[in-house]
Amino acid sequence: MLNDLARTRGYTLQIELTTQSFRLSGDEAALAERDEAIAAREASLARLPRIPARNILFPSPSIAAFRPALPMRGCRVRPATC
């Protein structure tokens, strides 16, 4: 899934760059390259599963449940009040 997300981002950047290239140069080959990137991005998006209903990294109802376990950073005076 992360690979497809990274590819989708890359294709999106390629689309933007080739569009700008066409605007500057007028070379229609840039449009063909852009169209290929659009097709590749759509294929990559189609491979992505639907976003899960709940967060798979923090399956508990709230991150507040993890608050005591998180390290306290930047607290110098009283950790209980940070």
Q: Which amino acid is at 41?
A: R
**Contact predicate 2/47, CB 8 Å:** no
Q: What is the pLDDT of residues 19-45, one digit of tens each?
A: 999 999 999 999 999 999 999 999 888
In b/e form, how buried is each residue of 23-45, taking b as 16+ CB within 10 angstroms? eeeeeeebeebbeebeebbeebe
Q: What is the pLDDT of residues 43-66, one digit of tens each?
A: 888 887 765 555 556 555 555 555
CA dihedral sign, ordered 6, 11, 14, 19: negative
Q: Residue ranges per domain, the chain?
A: 1-48
